[in-house]
Amino acid sequence: MSETTLSIPGIHCEHCQSSIEGALGELEGVRSARVSVPERTVDVDYDESVVDIDAIKDTILEQGYDLPA
For 28-40, what is each residue's pLDDT tens digit?
999 999 999 999 9
In whole angstroms, what is the distance from residue 36 CA to residue 38 CA? 6
Question: What letters, b where the CB count within 10 A reaches 16 and e where it falls short, cover 35-48?
Answer: beeeebbbebebee
Largest CA distance in the chain: 32
SS3 19: helix
Write down the pTM of the prediction: 0.92
Contacts of residue 46, Cβ cutoff 8 Å, sequence gap at least 6: 1, 2, 3, 4, 27, 29, 30, 31, 56
Mean pLDDT per 10-residue section of the chain, whose length is 69 residues: 96 95 97 97 97 97 93
Quick one: pLDDT at residue 41?
97
In the chain, the domains with their CATH numbers are 2-62 (3.30.70.100)
